[in-house]
Amino acid sequence: MYDKVKEAFSKQSGIFDEYEEQNEILKWMRNFTRKHVLKYLQEGDEILELNAGTGLDAVFFAEKGHKIYCIDISEGMLEKLSAKVEDKNLSSLISFQLLSFEELNRLNKKSFDYIFSNFGGLNCAENLDTVFKHFPHILKPGGRVTLIIMPVVSPWEIILAAKGNFKSAFRRFHKNGIQANVEGVKFQTYYYNVQNVIEALGTQFKVLEIQGLGSVSPPPFMINFPRRYPKLYKNLTVLDEKISNLFPFNRWADHFILTAEFIPGKKSSE
C-alpha cells in the first residue's frame, strides 16, 4: 500500500539534504525536535528511528554516542544514509533495514530504549494502530517514544483562507486524508490530533510532554519568509519556543511533538 510513498521519497532523496540546507525553517524545526529528544534520552540508549530518511537525525544522535537502528521504505533514502555512515565512519553506531513502520515484527533487532519518528512520516499511516501495536513488543520497560506528527489544525494554513485559498487552508480537515504530491508522485496522507495519538498508543503509555512545532512561526513551504523578514521570523521562532508547551499551541501547529513512556501493565485509571 506504500508503493507510491516509496517511489516519491526515493525520487526526493537526491535533493532532500540540499533542500533542507537551504530552508531555514526546516533547520530550526529539526534543531527544536533534537533538543526535545535530548531531554529524554539517557546515556547508552539504543534508538529505533522510523522513516529515517537520509539519516540527518541518525548521524546527529550517533555523534552523541547513541546506537541508532534506522528503518525506511525508500531505497533512495537508505542509499544516502548508507553513504553518510561510510563517510563518517559510523557503522558501529548506525545500522538500517528497508522496512515499513507497519512491519516492526520483522525487525532484525528486537529491543530498544527509544523510538523516534520525525516530521510527519507517520502521517502516511492510514491507521496509527497498525504501527503502535508493535511498540510494546520492541520497547524496553521504561522506554520512551517521541513522535512528530502533523495535526488537523495548522494556524498558518488556515490563514490562507483570507487570500481565498480555501483548498489549502482546510486541507487537513478531510477525515479520509488528502493526496500529497512529492516529486510528481501522489499518495494519500492523514492528519491526527494529539488525542488520536494518545488513544492509539494505549493505556501502557504515559504522556510526558506535548509541544507544538510551528504554531506562530511560518511552515517550511514558506521558504522565503526568513530571508524577506529576518527580524520578524526570529521573533516568531523565539515566541514559538516560549509557548510551545501551552494549550492550544501544543496542539495547533504545523507539527506537534509527543513524548511518552512505556509502562507495562499500566491501566487507564493510573
| Best CA proximity match to 151, nearest among 264, 20, 252, 269 | 252
Residue 163 domain-assigned?
no
User: Cell numbers of 5, please?
Assistant: 510513498
Instruction: Give pLDDT, residue 270.
Output: 44
Q: Does the N-terminal peptide bond of residue 226 adopt cis geometry, omega within 30 degrees of 0? A: no
Cα 173 to Cα 32, 33, 86, 166, 223: the distances in Å are 26, 25, 43, 11, 24
| Structural domains in the chain (count) | 1
pLDDT tens string 144-194: 999 999 999 998 888 876 777 767 767 888 888 888 889 899 999 999 999
* CATH number of the domain within which 26 lies: 3.40.50.150
pTM equals 0.94
Instruction: Give pLDDT, residue 166.
Output: 64
Instruction: Give pLDDT, residue 266.
Output: 67
Residue 214 domain-assigned?
yes
pLDDT tens string 73-96: 999 999 999 999 999 999 999 999
Residue 136 domain-assigned?
yes
Q: Give the domain range for residue 220.
A: 3-153+192-262
User: Cell numbers of 15, please?
Assistant: 535533493
| Best CA proximity match to 140, nearest among 264, 255, 244 | 264
Instruction: Give pLDDT, residue 167.
Output: 72
Show the low-confidence residues of the chain (pLDDT under 50).
Answer: 269-270
Residue 133 domain-assigned?
yes
Residue 144 domain-assigned?
yes
Residue 64 domain-assigned?
yes
